[in-house]
Structure 1
Amino acid sequence: MEVTGHAQRTAWQERAVPPVEAVRPGLWSVPVPMGGPLRWVNAYVLELAGGGLGLVDTGWGADDSWDALRAGLTAIGGDVADVRGVLVTHLHFDHVGLAQRVREASGAWVAMHPADAGDLRSMTDCSPEESTEREVAFLVSLGAPEDDARADAGTPEERASWRRLVRPDRLLEDGDRADLPGWSLRAVHTPGHTAGHLCFADEATGLFFAGDHVLPRISPNISTHAGGAGDPLRDYLGSLEAVAGRAVEEVLPGHEWRFRGLAERTRELRAHHERRLAELLAAAREHPGSSPWDLAAHLTWSRPWSEYERRMRIFAVTETDAHVRLLASRGLVVGDGGTVPRWSATHLR
């Protein structure tokens, strides 16, 4: 795998935010800061034939992120009012969070996959209180003690901003062409990270806007959630295989840095999950009758398990559940059928 976003990687190593970069004539990468370990989102700005700009993702829905996006557009000689359309790779807050403000400031249309549009609608239609209770119930169903589930899920007040998220004007299915004049971007449906995750492949340049499907350094979180896909990790591994053979000149990810070597990176990500599945299967053998909440505590994480709480613990447990479900579909673990499934390894080899 070859790094092509050198300024981005240098900024990462220096714990900074990279500069606005010209990626190709008429195409720029604008880093939009966000909280947490990922530090920024790569919003991509495309100059359109006939005037105006297009965006691929917008960034985290916060005031400082909004200021950074506007400053980035100014740096390339544009303005948020010039935006004609927004392509959303997926519904997560760091990618869709500013889309509503962009639309209000410019009148731009916003497009995403129908599956993510449906999930976003259910989030915005649901009251913060109902949303909180739904997540608490789901965590309890994975084995969390209710007190821990409530502490991790947070308060309804913390979810109030979800109701202000954008409703898309347009829906894009796999293979649909995006309405960005001067570009030949086609939607590539890559479920896994979310049910409606989209990448965008530009047929003329060979550029591949990857969202969070393929990142150069980390594996994107693949998790279960209430009412979500039954086997999201199987979906994700299938999506990796589906894009591996594409003729791609350069990968433009939603985080970290640009790179070449899509096929190699998809192989690395598949191998990572197979190692994770093997570690989880060993934990299920050593600790039979364990819930996903229990099993997560026996896996290797980036820090001691005792330090995990709130959203990080939710991600870890729901990712563990996604791996458990794939092991179950392979016949390697079996649940006891209870309201809170307790998993044990089978005797298959």
Structure 2
Amino acid sequence: MIETVTVEPDLVQLRTTRRAWPSSCNVYLVHDGDGAVMVDTGLGVEPDLGALCDAAASALSAWGQSLRDIHTILLTHTHTDHAGGTVPLARRTGATVRLPVRGWAQAADPHWQAHHILPSEVQRELDAARDFDVAAHMRTDTMPQLFAEAADVDFRLVEDGDKFQAGRYRLRAYHLPGHDVAHIAWVDLDTGVAFTGDMLVARGTSLPWYPPNAGGVGGYLDSLARLGELPVRLACPGHSSVNRGIDVVADLVRATTQAVLDRDRGLLAALLAAPSAFATLDDLIYGADVRGVIPWASSVTVAHLRRLEEQGLVSRRPDGLYLSEPKAAERYLKRIAPPQT
């Protein structure tokens, strides 16, 4: 269930091999002298939590350490596949938890998970998800122990620009909203090591994913541009394998950016052909097989339509059909066309 990958002698990836939701993110361990730092925690339910503890204990033993030697948990964001296991792991290890300041609300109250992940604007468009209680699902199936219920855990809130020393890595927090309103990447500018969370496209996942209430398309593109300016040589993502080489990482940032713009292109091409219902447009972003497992996949479609509407390119008619403004749409499509190779 969990594959242990030695990234560097002092850096280990605990990679979940199960892809079907709910499943945990990648978790990282950093050797820090007599202790260790954990980056993200995965889900807070079984079998994920127990499997993570077993895998982490085995990896730490190679450094002559145990779970109790984890002194800090760093979070990239507080989606439950990244932070669901935080409270039980903090209690088991005694670790201090450092999380993005804007991530507290989602980790303390499932209402805010629902607000950011599957907002009512999205549910309005979806017959199948109209009555889906995402808050209850997240609490029951992914994160039973909320931060607000853990007064015994030492939580520290992190702002953009804050620094933390983890072994030989001097990590700086970069606020990169879009996938999540609170999303940060932990980056060491000297070594080029970066814990990028869910910023980059990952094969076999729904990424890139960016709901309208978490930064949406514009926020995500701005964050990709900011990440692309950093000298990242080793990207440690929340899902999939690590990416080595400054050119490899730069190419991945560009590929993720193009994947986002290609979704705009697909939606506008369809709307230039004919006014379309949301369900038709939704199929252009994610297939029914993905939406059947994670109804909030459709939040990305709404994020695109909201941004295109704000730009004067798309409008929603009273009958619910979407249509494009042809001349403006055609100009925009020329501007975002992929570069010729």
Specify the TM-score bucket, using the shorter chain as the normaliser: 0.7 to 0.9
**Residue identity opposite 1:222 in structure 2:** Y
Equivalent residues in 2 for 1:21-36 (5 A)? 21-32=5-16, 34=18, 36=20
Select 1:117's aligned residue among 68, 81, 104: 104
Deviation at 1:313, TM superposition (A): 3.5
Letter in structure 2 aligned against 1:195? V
2:334 aligned partner: none
* Counterpart residue identity of residue 121, structure 1: A
User: Residue 67 of structure 1: CA displacement?
Assistant: 2.2
Q: Distance in 1 between matches of 2:79 and 2:296?
A: 15
What is the deviation of 1:209?
Answer: 0.9
Query: What are structure 2's unaligned runs of at least 5 residues?
Result: 149-153, 331-341
Q: Does 1:241 align with 2:225?
A: yes
* Amino acid in structure 2 at the alignment position of 1:41: C
| Deviation larger for 101-110 or 32-41 | 32-41
Judging changes above 3 Å, is the alpha-carbon distance between structure 1 residues 105 and 155 closer, same or farther for their aligned structure 2 residues?
closer
Number of residue pairs the alignment of both structures matches: 312
Partner of residue 41 from structure 2, selected from 51, 58, 68? 58
Shift in Å at residue 165 of structure 1?
2.8
C-alpha distance in 2 between matches for 1:199 and 1:172: 11
Post-superposition Cα deviations, 1:74-104, rounded to whole Å, max 9, x if no partner, equal 2231322221111111111211111111111
- Residue of structure 2 in register with 1:345 after alignment: 324
Task: Tell me, yes or no, if structure 1 residue 173 matches structure 2 residue 159.
Answer: yes
Shift of 1:202: 1.7
Aligned residue number for residue 93 of structure 1: 80
Tell me, yes or no, if the aligned pair for 1:33 and 1:41 is still in contact at 8 Å: no
Q: In structure 2, what is the equivalent of residue 222 of structure 1?
A: 210
Deviation at 1:207, TM superposition (A): 0.7
Question: In the superposition, relative to structure 1, how do residues 96 and 158 fare at CA in structure 2: closer, same or farther (>3 Å)?
Answer: closer
Q: What is the match of residue 316 of structure 2?
A: 335
CA RMSD in angstroms comes to: 3.0
CA distance in 2, matches of 1:277, 1:135: 20
Matched, 1:74 2:57: yes
Give the match for residue 108 of structure 1.
95
Cα 1:114–1:242 change in 2 (3 A) is same
Alignment match, 1:313: 295
Give the structure 2 partner of residue 7 of structure 1: none
Change (3 A) 1:166 1:293: farther
Q: Assess, with a 3 A threshold, how the Cα gap between structure 1 residues 158 and 193 changes in structure 2: closer, same or farther.
A: closer
Whether contact under 8 Å (1:48, 1:183) holds in the other structure is no
Q: Could you say which structure has the greater relative contact order, defined with CA pairs below 8 angstroms and 6 or more residues apart? A: 1
**One of 156, 160, 171 as aligned partner of 1:185:** 171
Residue 191 of structure 1 aligns to a residue whose secondary structure is: coil
TM-score by length of 2: 0.80
Displacement after TM superposition at 1:25 (Å): 2.7
Contact 1:31 1:69 in 2 (8 A): no
Q: Secondary structure at the match of 1:149?
A: coil
What is the Cα deviation at residue 289 of structure 1?
6.3
Equivalents in 1 of 2:24, 2:144: separation in Å?
A: 23
- Provide, for residues 53-90 of structure 1, a one-character-per-residue CA deviation record: whole Å limited to 9, x for no partner: 11101112222222222222222313222211111111
Of 199, 202, 210, which aligns to 2:196? 210
Separation in 2, partners of 1:192, 1:136: 15
CA distance 1:204–1:157, change in 2 (3 Å): closer
Partner Cα distance (2:138, 2:169) in 1: 39
8 A Cα contact 2:14 2:52, kept in partner: yes
Shift of 1:258: 0.9
User: Could you say if the C-alpha distance between residues 284 and 116 of structure 1 is closer, same or farther in structure 2, counting changes exceeding 3 Å?
Assistant: farther
Letter in 1 for 2:68: A
Once the two structures are superposed, residues 120-147 of structure 1 have per-residue CA deviations (whole angstroms, 9 ceiling, x without a partner) of: 3332789xxxx69x96844443x223x6
> Which secondary structure state, in structure 2, belongs to the residue aligned with residue 252 of structure 1?
strand
Q: SS where residue 44 of structure 1 aligns?
A: strand
TM-score (norm 1): 0.78
- Say whether residues 1:295 and 2:281 are aligned partners: yes
Give 1:184 deviation, angstroms.
0.6
CA distance in 2, matches of 1:199, 1:116: 13
Distance 2:123 2:168 in 1: 50
8 Å Cα contact 1:210/1:252 also seen in 2: yes
Q: Is the 8 A contact 2:105 2:112 kept in 1?
A: no
The letter of the residue matching 1:346 is E
Counterpart for residue 19 of structure 1: 3
Q: Does the CA-based 8 Å contact 1:200-1:210 persist in structure 2?
A: yes
SS at match of 1:41: coil
How big is the shift at 1:216?
A: 4.4
Partner of 2:238: 254
Distance in 2 between residues matched to 1:43 and 1:266, nearest whole Å: 21
Q: After TM superposition, which residue ranges in structure 1, 4 or more long, deviate above 6 angstroms?
A: none
